[in-house]
């Protein structure tokens, strides 16, 4: 280049030369991160609520109050109640069910299913008779000293008794249980730990005739505390 020649300055609107581009300004990343955190938190809370509602719709916890189910269930024992099972099939004899008390729908009771729709139930000398046949009970009970019936179980009804027959407010005192009042089947005992386990339904081949002593297991002594209902 001639020493006397001068180069003209670059035009203001000229494109930048390669390698001289300016980096874009950083965005407000703090606000973006906060929005992401809030969104994830709300999604987690919503999912937790959905799971809780679904579980609550199918399972309910229940605390036993009183001694009506001794010697098999005890005052202060905590159970989980399966609320879905009876949507699939009706209650079976021997099921332990939780239901709204027909005398006070604000209270929940726990009893055992004894009589099913269409059956005749009678209690004589501590024995339970179904359609005139003695029911062999394969679980421990404190037998009744009262007589009852015979009485017919109507459609959509159940006859329920406490295992501690003389200290139980149940069908022998207030009548048949409407199926619509049943909340569900007692499924799992989870507290106290020594009673933890799945609650089994005893098997009944049939309400077959039995000698008097077979239907009346020996009474199990109760606590010295005053028996309470339910």
Of the candidates 223, 190, 160, the one whose C-alpha atom is nearest the C-alpha of residue 62 is 190
Helix/strand/coil for 101: strand
Q: Which is catalytic among the residues 83, 111, 167, 189?
A: 111
**Choosing from 29, 36, 68, 189, which is the catalytic residue?**
68
How many angstroms separate the CA atoms of 116 and 159, rounded?
7
CA-closest candidate to residue 160, choices 110, 208, 200, 198: 110
To the query of whether residue 152 is one of the catalytic residues in this protein, the response is no
C-alpha distances (whole Å) from 19 to each of 7, 10, 14, 23, 90 are 21, 16, 15, 11, 80
Nearest by Cα to 183 from 64, 84, 68: 84
Long-range contacts formed by 215-218: CB under 8 A, 24+ apart: 215/126, 215/127, 215/128, 215/134, 215/135, 215/136, 215/137, 216/125, 216/126, 216/127, 216/143, 217/137, 217/140, 217/141, 217/143
**Phi/psi at 101 (5° precision):** -60, 130
Query: Quick one: CA dihedral 56, 57, 58, 60, positive or negative?
Result: positive
**68 an active-site residue?**
yes
Show which residues are catalytic.
68, 111
């Amino acid at each position: 280049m001639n020493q006397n020649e001068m180069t003209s300055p670059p035009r203001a609107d000229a494109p930048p030369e390669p390698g001289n581009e300016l980096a874009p300004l950083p965005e407000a990343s703090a606000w973006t991160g906060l929005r992401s955190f809030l969104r994830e938190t709300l999604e987690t809370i919503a999912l937790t609520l959905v799971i809780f509602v679904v579980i609550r719709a199918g399972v309910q916890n229940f605390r036993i109050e009183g001694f009506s189910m001794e010697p098999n269930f005890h005052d202060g024992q905590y159970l989980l109640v399966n609320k879905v099972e009876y949507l699939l099939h009706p209650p079976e004899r021997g099921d332990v069910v939780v239901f709204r008390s027909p005398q006070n729908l604000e209270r929940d009771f726990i009893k055992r299913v004894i009589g099913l729709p269409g059956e005749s139930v009678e209690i004589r000398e501590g024995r339970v008779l179904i359609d005139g046949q003695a029911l062999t009970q394969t679980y421990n009970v404190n037998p009744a000293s009262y007589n009852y019936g015979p009485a017919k179980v109507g459609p959509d009804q159940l006859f329920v008794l406490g295992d501690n027959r003389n200290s139980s407010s149940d069908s022998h005192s207030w009548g048949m249980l409407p199926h619509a009042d049943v909340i569900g089947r007692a499924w799992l005992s989870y507290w106290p730990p020594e009673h933890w386990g799945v609650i089994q339904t005893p098997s009944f081949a049939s309400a077959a005739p039995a000698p008097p002593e077979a239907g009346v297991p020996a009474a199990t002594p109760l606590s010295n505390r005053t028996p309470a209902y339910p």
